[in-house]
Amino acid sequence: MLGFIHIAFPPLPALMAQLLIGLINGAFYAMLSLGLAVIFGMLGIINFTHGSQYMIGAFCAYLLLKFLGISYWWSLLIAPLVVGAFGIVLERLFIRHLYQLDHLYGLLLTFGLALILEGLFRQEWGSSGLPYSIPPTLTGAYNLGFMFLPIYRGWVIVASAVVCFGTWFVIERTRLGSYLRAATENPALVQSFGINVPRMITLTYGFGVGLAALAGVLAAPIYQVSPLMGSNIIIVVFAVVVIGGMGSILGSIVSGFVLGLIEGLTKVFYPEASSTAIFVIMAIVLLVKPAGFFGREFR
């Protein structure tokens, strides 16, 4: 950390490889911060359980394969539905009681839920990672000329970009999305037009949680499946959210990808700082642009 900084330009393949890793991490930051932003917009709570739900998504894929022989492709569909349904249960049982209270209590409650879930999974599967192999159709690599691109990594980037921009499209460009945005601004008024706002809130939470689970399934073959994978990533995602601000869907997607890339670049030029890079950027952003890049201040 405190050594001399040697900046030498690395060979192109090494640079591209780190940028690719950065882009992959960025894809997960984008999906998770998008889910946080969608949930926060509707429910007014910061979903600390998001990391656990991402972890459970990965476990879902692992368990489906191990015990039922269900393939990766079906897991991509089943895990978000199962975990999303579980999220809906959590919202109905616990979270809905907090809408009238200070936002802080939402954070505390979901933090408690995250502890419970993580503790249960750790009790059952320990802290070490479990391997989940890449589906056969996505193994191997393309030769791009200047580097080899593992097909699975390319798939993750494309898939998460499609999911993120699909979500953006639904929220910003469709009738359903306009209901959602309206209900975020003024739930009472939207309800008076005959739209069932409480159900919309519940489904929004389920959708956000499903996104986290989908990210978990995508992550399973890249990172190992471990009970700790969620809490490791969620704090970084919080920093991403502080930098981007939760006021904008597009903002949370863009800041996720960009910060992943910057983190990857740090790994090339100054690897000791790569784990702290995003936090340092957050501190700098707070100094120069306290509300974040796409920020709208919520209280």
Partner 1 sequence: MRSALAANLEVGFAGRRVLGLVLLAAALGAPFLFYPVFVMKALCFALFASAFNLLIGYAGLASFGHAAFFGWAAYVTAYAVKSWGLDPVSGILLGTALAAAMGLVFGWLAIRRQGIYFAMITLALAQMMYFVANEVAFTGGEDGIQAVPRGTLFGLVNLDDPYAMYYFVLAIFLIGFAIIWRTVNSPFGEVLKAIRENEGRAISLGYRTEHYKLLAFTLSAALSGLAGATKALVFQLASLTDVFFSTSGDVLLMTLLGGIGTLFGPAAGAVIMVSMENYLAQFGSWVTVIEGAIFVVCVLTFRRGIVGELARFFPRWFADGGTPR
Q: Judged by CB, which is closer to partner 1: 17, or 236? A: 236
CB of 224 to partner 1, least distance (A): 18
3-state secondary structure of 132: coil
How many Cα atoms sit within 13 Å of 206 on the Cβ side?
Answer: 15
Residues that bind partner 1 (CB under 8 A): 1-2, 46, 94, 97-98, 101-109, 111-120, 122-123, 231, 235-236, 238-239, 241-242, 272, 275-276, 278-280, 282-283, 286-287, 290-291, 297-299
Minimum gap (Å) between residue 18 Cβ and partner 1: 18
Q: What is the 3-state secondary structure (H, E, C) of 171-215?
A: HHHCHHHHHHHHHHHCHHHHHHCCCCHHHHHHHHHHHHHHHHHHH
Of 129 and 135, the one with the shorter C-beta distance to partner 1 is 129
Closest CB 240 distance from partner 1, rounded Å? 9
Least distance CB 97 / partner 1 (angstroms): 6
Question: What six digits make up the tokens of 135?
Answer: 């589906």
The amino acid sitting at 112 is G
Question: For partner 1, which is the closer residue by CB, 120 or 189?
Answer: 120
Q: Which of 291, 260, 266 is nearest to 28 (CA)?
A: 260
User: Would you say 46 or 183 has its CB closer to partner 1?
Assistant: 46
Cα separation of 228 and 225, whole Å?
A: 9
Closer CB to partner 1, 97 or 173, in the complex: 97
Q: How far is the CB of 167 from partner 1 (least distance, A)?
A: 22
Classify 97 as helix, strand or coil: helix
